Every structure is written in C-alpha cells, then in structure tokens.
Chains A and B, each alone.
Chain A
Amino acid sequence: MRPSASGVRVPSAVVALCFAGSSLAAAQHEDRHGLGARAMGLAGAMAARAGSFAALYHGPAGLAPVPGERAALLEASVETFVAHPFVRVESLRGEPLRTAAPARSTFALLFGVRADLSRALGVRGLGAGFSLYQPGDALARWSNHPDDQLQWLHLTDRTHRIGAMAGLGWRPLRWLAVGAAARILFDIETLTVARVTDAEPQTDPTTGESYVDVTAQLGERVRAYGRLAPVLSVLVEPTEGLTLAARYRGSSEVEDWGWTRVEQVPAIGTLGFVHRFSHHVEPDQLTVGVALEPAPRWSLGAEVAWTDWSNGRSAEHRRYPGHFGDTIDPAVGIEWEASAAVAMRAGYRFVRRTFDPFGGPANLLDSDEHALTVGAGVELGAPGGARSGRWSIDVALRVAWLPGDTERKDWRRFASDEELELNPGRDGYRWSGWLASGALGVRARW
C-alpha cells in the first residue's frame, strides 16, 4: 500500500511509544501478533519492511524516512487488538483439567507515532518512533505459580503488562538505513513487613485446633524498575525493489522479587520468605529478512528468526537443562496493492515451542504454533481537501493452530515417591488448541 502517490512502497519510519502487555503471546505480544494491524496482516514478517511505526519492534532502521516520502511527516496511529484462546487441557482419560491461571481473552489499545525529524533537527534522513501498548483492563496483570502447577508457559498473562518502545532510524545513504530502539518493561520489587501488635490464643471451633490469633500492622516498600531491551537493525537496498535486513533483539525479562517478613511473632521472633519470579522472558534473537517485489503491485517479505531459548527459564527462575531449546522460526507475508488506495495482505508464521515435555516435576504447557494471517489497508485520502492530513485504516485477522502434546510422568525424574505422588500432573495429560486474534487501526498523517 502506498502512503503517497510518489511510489513509496511502504509507509515510512516512525516513532512509537508502546506499553507492552498482552495475555496471549509466547514471548512478547508483538512477537507473535506483530506490532499493529499491518504487521499482524503480514504475520510479523516485517524485518525488511520500513515505513510504519511497527518498525520500532520489527526493525528500527525502518524508522528512517523512506526515499520519496513526504518531508516532515508525522503519523499517529490508534489501534485495537483482541485475541481469544480456544485451548484444552485434559487428562489422558479425556477429563478436562484446570490450569493454575486461565488462558484469557485480551483486549488492548496500541498508540503509535512516528515522525521525520530531518527538518526539526537538521539531520537529513532521521526519523523517530514511539509507541504505547495498553491492555484494556489493566496496566498490567500477571500471576506466578510454582512450576509443578499445571499452567501455560506463555499463553496466559505472562506478558500482560505495560511496556514502552522508543527508537531512532537514520538513513545516511539512499540504500542504507540503520536504527536502534529500546523496549521498556518494568520489574517490580515488593518488600513487606508485618509487625505483630497483638496476640490471643484461640481454638478453631470447627477443627478444634488451637492457634494464636495475632494482629499485625503491615508496611510495604514497592519499587518498579525499568528494564531496557535493545532492538538494533540495518536495512540495505542493493537494487530497486529488493531490501535485505538484519536485526538483533536483546533479551527482555520481567521479574518480580522481594521478601515478606513477619516480625515479633510470639515465641518465634521473625519469620518470612523471599520470592523471585521471572514472569516474562524473551531471550536474545537474531533475524535476517528480505523484502522484494516479485511483480508489479506485489511485495513479499520473509524472515527467519533464531531465538536463544536454551537460556530460557521458568517462572520460578528455573532452567530445565535440555528442555528449553533454541528455536528457529520462519515467517512470510505478502502484500498486494489492489488499487492506489487498497492493499490486501496475508502471511504465515511458524513458532517452535520453547519447552518440551520431559516427564519431570514441571507442568508447563507449550506448543508449536502455525499461524495464518490476512489483512487489508485502506487509504482514505484527504477528507478535508488536498491540503489536509490523510487517514488510513488497517485491519487484520490471525488464526493459529496449537497442535499441543502429551505429558507422561517418569518416576525416575522425581526425587522421591512422595514428590511424584504430590505432583498435580502425576497422571499425565495432553493439551492443544487454537488462538484467534484481530486488530484494527486508524492512522492520521500531518
């Protein structure tokens, strides 16, 4: 789809401020669904495609103004995102099983901005982006559970949180662009103190158990720390119509740590515990991509991403050697300009599961994913006249199949018979499902 009549293949680079958060993403929401409706329609195969605020995540070199694009461009997008899982976890006898946290629907808003800063800062070819991703119901929501509870490794709310993205792209030469962006997530530290102020012996009227009814006063220290994950990319256009891309995404992680201390407990003194959860992990990733025009009005983008999942870990901050493995995920997206104002899109992405069942104490559910996407973009032109800004709409749908797997416990992997007996997944289980998601975005240009 052309953002202008001058033949620009894709909308140009951007600024984006993004509060990341979704409940349905293996790694980050953007990684499976793409940042925005256009990216979703192309199955996220955007590494070599410049010209939208989605470049913040998919390749910040694409934030640089695209040759032929209007100068001093400012674009702002408001998008909605919905996703719903249709998943099933059942015992080997076919009885449904509940997971510790349900796989829930997600509704979110995405706000993205990109700007050509060439004139503002006197640096030719400089663009910037900023995006904000906001789950519809809360700035963030997640739950952490012990690894031996039955739970989706990525599919629930592990990535439902605020986050932000900001970046710059620079095109020093017509055929070369480089870019850097930062994805911002937040760790949380909570230190809790309960000071016992009163104690009274009691007897439970139901069980007859004796206990001491203690009154305490609570204090809390909360800190939210920002955590930066870099995204670096380079775009090279050796010939007209061919773009090669390379991208590096630094690992990002969101942790939740702290301790709870109960002071002045009669006859005991101080009790407490320390917690440390890693409720979102996305390891380092390297991607190479290509965008080309195989025929007039057709453009094709493809990429292959290697992700260092062998450094992945569970929510309890555990690594299970040999069971988290690196992944190589391909994606391809195609766009057809049906007319000067309408573009149609389709794509496919395969996501290799990051954790294989191994019959041990952990009950973490993960699955390969085959995702098909379709999308469209409509340029609404300038409703107020030729001298006004332009509007456009993007829409995308995505359906992903999760073939799932089967888990059977191996007693040799447990420290004791008691540990196996107490494991919630001791009888074995299987899981599979579908994910459906969609996005709708409106973009304005000045």
Chain B
Amino acid sequence: MTRTGAIRVRLVVAATVAWGSAARAQTGVPFGDEPRSAALAGSGLAGPAGLDSVDRNPGALHTLERPVAALWAHGGSLRWWFARRGEPRDTQTRFVGGFGVALVAPWPGDGPLRTVRLGVGLHVPFEHALSVDAPPRDDVPSLALYENRAERMAVTVGGALALLDGAIGLGAAIRFVPSLRTPTRVRYDPGSSERRPRVLIDLERELPVGLAPVVGVAAQPLRALHVGLVYRGRAVMRAEGSNDTRAGGIRLDDPIDFAAFVEPDVLAFGVSWQPVAALRVQADAGWARWSRFVTIHDRRPDPPWRDMIEARAGVEIDIVRSITLRAGLAYEPTPVPPQRRVSNFVDADRLLVTAGAGIGLEALGLGRARLELYGAWLAMATARAHKDLDALPDDDAQTPGRQIRNLGAPAWSGSATAWQAGLGLTLPLGRDPWPADDDEASR
C-alpha cells in the first residue's frame, strides 16, 4: 500500500490497563490478606495491631511494642460461570495465589519519637505481578470485582502516633498506585525488502506512581475494648499514551487514555472486645462509595453502581497457650445494579466464611515464630439480568435500522465461588528483652 492510499485509524479509547495497588484485595475478598486477618474474614480494624494494620487501619499500629515481620503465601481457586438464557454455562476457573511480606516496628530508640510506629507491606501475586484484560467490546461478560483486581502487586507504607499514653493511635499510610504511560511509534522500514520486511518500533513504557491515602484512628476506651475508624481513599490506575503507527499504509495516531478502578473510597468503623484473656470478638462495618466506579473503558457504568455497606466479624480463641483458633464471617452486598443495558457485570451479594489457626512454634522447640494457617470460602448469589432491547444502542451505524449484538442478550445469569488457603510465619524480631548491655554479643 502506498502513502496515497494510507488508511488513518482513529482509536477510540475502549480499554483500560490496570496496575495493582492496595496491600490486599478490596471488599474482603480472600486474595492477599495476611493469614491472621484472612482467618478473621478481614475484620479487626479496631486493633490491637496486626501485620495488616498498615493497610487496614494504620492507627491500630500504636499498640505495637516490638518489631514483627511476617511472610505468607496463599493459593486458591476462583470459579465463575455465565449463561445466556437457554444456553449452557460458560465456566471459567483460575488459580489465584500470591505472597506477602510485612514489617511493622516501633521507632527505634527512647527519644521523643518513641511513640511513633512504622509499617510496610508488600503483596505480590503468584502468577502475574499484574494482569489486566480490557476487551475491545463493552459488553463482554466479566466478573465485576475480581476480574483484573485479583492479580496486582501492592505496596503500602504507613505509620502511627500513640497519644494519651497509648490510649489513642493516629495513623496514616499511602498505597502506591501505579499507572502506565506507553507511547508507541511504529514505522515500516523503507529500507527493508520484501524478502526481509522490517517494522521499526520505538516503544516507551513508564509506570508513574499515584498515591491513595489511608487515615485511621484506633482507641482503647476500656481495657477490654478497642474501637477504630478508618478512611481509605479510592485508587484508580491509569493507562495513557499514544499509538502512532504508520506501517504498510496504516496510520494510527490517536491517544490512549484508559482507567481502572481498583478500590472505592471506604469509611469503616470497627470494634474489638476481649471479655476474657483467651477470647476476642471483633466486628467491622464499612461504607464503600462504589457510586464513583468507572468501567475499564473509563466510563461511568450505565446505570451507575451503588454505594454499599459491608459487614465482617471474627472471633479468636486461645485454646492453649500456643494454639489460637479463629473464624470469621463477612457479608458483602453487591454494588452492581441489574444489568439491563450494555454492560454485563456478573456480581451479586457475597458471603465469606473463614477459619484458621495460629500455632506458636516455641512449644515445638522451633524458635519464637508463629505459624498461621487459614482457609476461606466465598459464595456469591446468582446474578440475573434481562436486557431491555429498547435501551440497547445501535451496534452498527453502517447498516440501516438499529442492530444489537450484545453478548448478554436477551437475558443471562451468572455467579462465582472462590476458595483459598494460606499459611504464614510471624517472626518477632529485635532484642527482647533488651539487655543491660546493649552491645552484648550473642556469640
């Protein structure tokens, strides 16, 4: 094809690339939590401090007395199906796993900053540090909350300040939210031959970092009672750039501007009650501002999503000195309205059931670490949608009349289940207790 016959292709932005963030998956999904927290269905923002506090409620870090690190791994299966009315189910199953590392510590030293606590958390998915599918069509059925968000790398850094002799903790953290800029320039090498055709590609990649805030407060009004309040800012990852292609007579020279909604604004309140030393009961309730959701094509869904209040609770029992049992339950109502128009988001109310245990290895003579185990099961109600054919847009402007091609027409149902198991090591670090001689050698 010659230049005079060039075709100009204008790319209408229609896809989004999501880059991960948040040290755990949103809405309590059992993908990525630290094992103790996962065993409690993600409850526990009131404290006392856990290794996930830097992300869940950094204010709770103020109860921390010594450095603690954790390593954990988790794996599980996410299975979902979609079926148009009268047609067989299309079922997809995928493995979701990952690894996590967290470190929390008091400010070193006895100076004026001794009431400061610090923490950092990192979560890396097992298979992909990032996985995003942005189909060119708006109507491709997708699992609304878990499609691209289950696999993303996450880093959170935060700290807390203990006030009133440790009765109250104020904390803040930032979650790193990467985005992508990818200008691409493509030319057909004029010096190449038919025998040795060559495409010249200048490709740039940049992952700028955005920040999503977490601000929290935790208090201990009574000896047996902890309360907490946390705000987590929404996280949206962007994909921007341009695609300037002139090759073989084609020209693509339009900008790319995508967005991926990772997490909504969340305001959550939690309470933790310890009636006896061996028993702790905790519950959280959170308002999630899903109404600001944008699709992977950077458009507000039609109809828009709804704000939701989700609830989660957990109980923790020390049955013997070195063994703790845990269980949790969470209810997550769907923010997705009935899918009568173009989009086909599969989502419905969800129930999360979890159980786990913590085992002190010292009793086995294996050091001071604790082994944490958990299992989690997530069930979703069946989502159903009946398309309003009058509300579907014309899918083919070139053909007379109004054509519909929607992949969900005329009606569909769908659902999902997930299970996950994980284990981790909690490692107390630093000197305990500190000796009179700070420089005492151990060997």
Contact = CB atoms under 8 A, between A and B. Distances in A.
Nearest to B365: A122
Contacts of B15: 218-220
A138 B11 contact: no
A121 B367 contact: yes
Nearest to A211: B6
B111 to A, nearest CB: 4
Interface stretch (A63-71, A89-97, A291-299, A351-359): A63-71
A384 B111 contact: yes
A202 B440 CA distance: 82
A216 to B, nearest CB: 5
Interface of B: 3-17, 66-67, 69, 101, 103, 105, 108-111, 114, 120, 122, 124, 128-137, 153, 155, 176, 178, 180, 182, 184, 186, 189-191, 196, 199-209, 239, 243, 245, 247-248, 250-252, 256, 258, 361, 365-369, 397-398, 425, 427-432, 434, 436-443
Given A188-B205, A273-B199, A115 B137 contact: no
A376 interface: no
A72 B7 contact: no
B105 A446 contact: yes
A387 B432 CA distance: 11
Given A194-B252, A224-B130, A142 B205 contact: yes
23 contacts: A6-B439, A68-B443, A69-B443, A70-B442, A71-B441, A73-B431, A120-B429, A138-B207, A140-B206, A164-B124, A216-B11, A218-B15, A221-B134, A222-B180, A223-B132, A262-B9, A262-B252, A273-B201, A382-B109, A382-B438, A383-B111, A446-B105, A446-B430
Contact of A265 (B114, B136, B250, B431): B250
**Contact residues on A (Cβ < 8 Å of other chain), bracket:** 35 or more
Nearest to B18: A222
Given A194-B136, A226-B129, A386-B438, A67 B443 contact: yes
Contacts, number: 275
Interface string A209-245: 1111111111111111110000000000000000000
B275 to A, nearest CB: 31
Given A143-B204, A220-B134, A224-B130, A446 B431 contact: yes
A209 B246 CA distance: 14
A273 B187 CA distance: 11
Given A212-B7, A213-B8, 20 more contacts: A17-B101, A68-B443, A74-B105, A74-B430, A115-B429, A120-B428, A142-B204, A144-B203, A146-B200, A146-B202, A192-B243, A194-B252, A217-B137, A220-B258, A221-B134, A222-B180, A271-B250, A389-B430, A422-B190, A446-B431
A327 interface: no
A6 B250 CA distance: 72
Interface in A49-76: 65, 67-74, 76
Contacts of A390: 108, 438
Contacts of A321: none
Contacts of B425: 121
A422 B191 contact: yes
A266 B249 CA distance: 12
A216 B10 contact: yes
Contact of A219 (B8, B108, B135, B437): B135
Interface string A345-389: 000000000000000000000000000000000000011111111
A388 B8 CA distance: 68
A113 B4 CA distance: 61
Contact of B441 (A4, A140, A220): A4
Interface in A235-260: 256, 260
A202 B129 contact: no
Nearest to B397: A198
A328 interface: no
A122 B4 CA distance: 75
B404 to A, nearest CB: 15
A123 interface: yes
A309 interface: no
Contacts of A268: 7
Contacts of B184: 260
A152 interface: no
A186 to B, nearest CB: 5
A210 B4 contact: yes
Interface string A397-441: 000000000000000000110110010000000000000000000
A142 B130 CA distance: 18
B178 A139 contact: yes
Given A138-B209, A209-B4, A387-B438, A225 B128 contact: yes
B361 to A, nearest CB: 7
Nearest to B198: A146
Nearest to B248: A271
Which of B155, B439, B441 counts the most A-chain CB atoms under 10 A from its CB?
A: B439
A100 interface: yes
Contact of B12 (A116, A218, A221): A218
Given A121-B367, A202-B8, A211-B7, A218 B439 contact: no
Contacts of B131: 222-224
A186 B17 CA distance: 16
Contact of A211 (B14, B180, B190, B251): B251
Given A67-B443, A218-B136, A117 B427 contact: yes
Contact of B439 (A70, A72, A76, A174): A70
A70 B435 CA distance: 11
A387 B434 contact: yes
Nearest to B20: A224
A198 B12 CA distance: 10
Contacts of B135: 219
